[in-house]
Structures are given as C-alpha cells and as structure tokens.
C-alpha cells in the first residue's frame, strides 16, 4: 500500500490550523558531532536557567491516583482526583489498563525512530507550513531561545486527520505500536473524562460530548539528547498545554519534567509504568479556572538522552470554550493563537 494513503486519511498539504514552525538543526545530530558544543541559541537567559528546583515547603510529590479504584467508583479516589486537578493540575496514574507490553512497545518504537540515521529521519521532516512530522519545537523567530530537543509529532485520531506520509512505516512494528498505544489512551481518556465530568457536576458523558464529533488526539515524541551543560539549557521551555488533557509517558530512569507549584519548580519523579496526566488550557477554561492548566518544563541530563511521549487530547474545531473566554473565541481560534498542543503557550508568544 502507498504509505501516504490510508482510508480516510488527510492527503497533500491540508493543515489542521495548528500553526507552523521555522526549521532549526537537529540537536541530536549536533551532539553526535560534538558532545561538548552548546551554541548560544540554546543558552537560556540567567533568570530562565534550570538551577536546582526550589523545593516546595510542604510536599514535593505530585498526587498519585489509583486508576483501578477510580473506575470502580471509589469515592475517596475520586476526591483525590478532584484535589489533584485543583491544587496541582498534574497527577500520575497507576494500576491503569494500558498494558506494560503496549507501553514497552511504544517506547521501543519511539527509540527506534530516533536511532535512524538523520537522512532517514529527514524523509519524515515537518513541512514549512505544517506541524506533523520530524523536527524541532515551535520556532517563530530567528532570535528565539531553542529547546534542547528533537521531536516527532503525529496525529493519531480521528483517522481523517492522520497523515501517513509522516509515519515511519519502514520501522517494523512502529505503526502497530503507535496505533495500539493511541487506542488504549483513548479508552483511558474516556474513563478519566467520565470521572471529571461527575466531579464538575455534569453527567458522566458530558466532557466527551463537549469535545464534539471530531475529538483529536496527537502524539508528540520528544528526544532530549544528553547535554554537557544542563544548567544552561532547557529541554522544553516553560509552557502550559493547549490541549484539554495530556497523557505523558516518561523515561523510567531520568527525571526531567518539572512543574510549577507554590512559586517553585517541582520535579516529577518517574514511577515505572505510571502515566503522568495534566489538565490543559481547554479544561481549565471549561471548569472556569477551577481545574488548573499548570506551567511545566523539561530539563536535560549530562549523562544520558531522555525520551518522553506526550499524547494531547483536543476538541473538535468548532467547539466553544467556557466562560473565561469571550463568546467569539472558539477552540480552533485558540489553538491557532497558542499554536496548539505541540507548543502550547510559550513565553515568547
């Protein structure tokens, strides 16, 4: 089958209106050629450098939600979820139904992609007017500080929006691993939405319904090469996600994600096979600011490359935001302004 064609998929250069980015060099390739090099464009201003996170006085662990208790209707667990969304905007879920095997295969597929030689990865390079494919974080200006990160972004659902020409189908098992992971995250999304809907005082199908007919799912695969000067750079700069909700798979061994909490940055320590969940700007808006879309960033490591896999859930284009937004602003407009799930709200915009 022609790899560019799949039933119902988008063809050619049709874009989702999620913004576009200027091309910049591959960080992975730069480090491969000279592991000590840290060009000026990556060195953060003093105030933004990732010095040791200022720990929070009370607790520095984000909440952990036992998913199995939650889906079985445990009231205490649902209350814990409510507090997590209000006070942290982030939580980790354990005992969920995404199998270890599916997670393992997804991580292996992403690792296999980034291991490809640069020339092969370039076959899937983002087009100048698009955000699908292989490239770097959202870049709007020649003067902007750059993330120490290469990425691959694929829209995984609904089938209409998939662009198969960006899928590295020559990697054995890649497509199957991504599709299986995507399907399991979709199921998880429904369960989390059902619980949040009840907590927000609505019927259990309300959040799903609010996303409209064409709820979208996009996966951003992040590769942060090791950096000889991790105190100077950021893997990804501070941002909140423009999604409604984001599911993040972290590397089991390297802590990289940090979230804003009580004026400080709190590192999110990986729990093997747990999935990090965060509230995005859409649910913050729908909940009238009660559930928080929290600023977060990723730092790099001197010893090893780190990978993370962020799955963004995004409502249909014509869905309206809640009462914090002017009536005329709908989600499509907001995503265009904030340039969507991939980049979310970046400080220089």
Ligand X SMILES: O=C(O)CCC(=O)C(=O)O
Asked if 332 interacts with ligand X (CB under 6 A), we say no
Minimum distance from residue 251 beta carbon to ligand X (Å)? 8
Nearer to ligand X, 132 or 220 (CB): 220
Query: To the nearest whole angstrom, how small is the minimum distance from the Cβ of residue 165 to Fe ion?
Result: 26
Q: Which residue is listed with tokens 């998913």?
A: 67
Determine the Cα–Cα distance for residues 309 and 178; give it in Å rounded to an integer: 11
Q: Does 162 bind ligand X (CB under 6 A)?
A: no
DSSP secondary structure letter of residue 330:
B
Q: Please report whether residue 241 would count as binding Fe ion according to CB under 5 A.
A: yes
Q: Does 308 bind ligand X (CB under 6 A)?
A: yes
Q: Which residues, in sequence order, are CB contacts of 59 under 8 Å at separation 6+?
A: none
Per DSSP, the residues of 107-132 read HHHHHHHHHS-HHHHGGGBPPTT--S
Q: Which is nearer to ligand X, 194 or 343 (CB)?
A: 343
Q: Pairing between strand 257-261 and 296-298?
A: antiparallel
CB of 24 to ligand X, least distance (A): 17
Considering the rule CB under 6 A, would residue 219 count as an interface residue with ligand X?
no
What distances in angstroms separate CA 198 from CA 82, 94, 195, one per listed residue? 10, 21, 5
6 vs 241, beta carbon nearer Fe ion: 241
Stretch that binds Fe ion, among 60-68, 120-128, 208-216, 238-246 (CB under 5 A): 238-246
In the chain, beta strands by DSSP E: 64-66, 90-94, 133-136, 150-157, 216-224, 236-239, 245-249, 257-261, 264-267, 275-279, 296-298, 306-314
Is 152 near ligand X (CB under 6 A)? no
* Helix ranges (DSSP H) in the chain: 27-33, 67-71, 75-83, 100-115, 118-121, 174-199, 206-210, 281-286, 331-338, 340-343
Q: Which is nearer to ligand X, 164 or 248 (CB)?
A: 248
- 236 is a contact residue toward ligand X (CB under 6 A): yes
Least Å distance between CB 243 and Fe ion? 8
Q: Binding marks (x or -) toward ligand X, 238..267, rule CB under 6 A?
A: ---x------x-x-----xx----------
81 binds ligand X (CB under 6 A): no
Chosen residue from 107, 121, 145, 220 binding ligand X by CB under 6 A: 220
Q: Which is nearer to ligand X, 70 or 181 (CB)?
A: 181
Q: C-alpha angle 70/73/79, rounded to 5°?
A: 60
Q: Quick one: 287 or 311, whose CB is closer to ligand X? A: 311
> Which is it for the CA torsion 31, 36, 37, 42, positive or negative?
positive
Q: In angstroms, what is the minimal distance from the CB of 157 to ligand X?
A: 18
CA distance 41 to 297: 18
Shortest CB 248 distance to Fe ion, Å = 7
- Enumerate binding residues for ligand X (CB under 6 A): 220, 222, 236, 241, 248, 250, 256-257, 296, 298, 308, 310
């Amino acid at each position: 089958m022609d790899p560019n064609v799949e039933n119902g998929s988008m063809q050619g250069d049709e874009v989702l209106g999620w913004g576009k980015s200027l091309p910049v060099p591959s960080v992975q390739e730069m480090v491969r050629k000279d592991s000590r090099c840290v060009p000026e464009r990556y060195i953060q201003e003093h105030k933004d450098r990732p010095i040791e996170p200022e720990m929070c006085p009370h607790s520095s662990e984000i909440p952990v939600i036992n998913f199995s208790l939650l889906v079985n209707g445990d009231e205490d667990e649902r209350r814990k979820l409510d507090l997590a969304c209000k006070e942290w905007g982030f939580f980790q879920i354990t005992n969920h139904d995404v199998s270890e095997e599916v997670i393992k295969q997804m991580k292996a597929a992403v690792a296999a992609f980034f291991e490809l030689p640069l020339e092969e990865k370039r076959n899937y390079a983002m087009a100048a007017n698009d955000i699908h494919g292989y490239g770097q974080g959202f870049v709007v200006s020649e003067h902007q500080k750059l993330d120490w990160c290469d990425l691959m972004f694929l829209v995984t659902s609904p089938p209409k929006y998939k662009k198969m020409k960006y899928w590295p189908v020559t990697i054995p098992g890649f497509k199957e691993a991504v599709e299986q992971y995507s399907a399991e995250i979709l199921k998880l999304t429904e369960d989390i939405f059902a619980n949040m809907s009840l907590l927000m005082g609505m019927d259990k199908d309300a959040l799903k319904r609010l996303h409209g007919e064409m709820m979208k799912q996009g996966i951003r695969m992040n590769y942060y090469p090791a950096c000889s000067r991790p105190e100077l750079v950021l893997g990804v700069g501070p941002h909140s996600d423009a999604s409604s909700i984001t599911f993040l798979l972290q590397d089991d061994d390297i802590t990289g994600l940090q979230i804003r909490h009580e004026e400080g940055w709190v590192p999110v320590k990986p729990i093997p096979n747990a999935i990090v969940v965060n509230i995005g700007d859409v649910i913050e808006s729908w909940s009238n600011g009660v559930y928080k879309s929290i600023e977060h960033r990723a730092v790099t490591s001197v010893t090893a490359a780190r990978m993370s896999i962020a799955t963004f859930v995004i409502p249909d284009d014509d869905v309206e935001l809640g009462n914090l937004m002017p009536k005329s602003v709908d989600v499509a407009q907001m995503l265009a302004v904030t340039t969507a799930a991939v980049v979310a709200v970046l400080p220089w915009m």
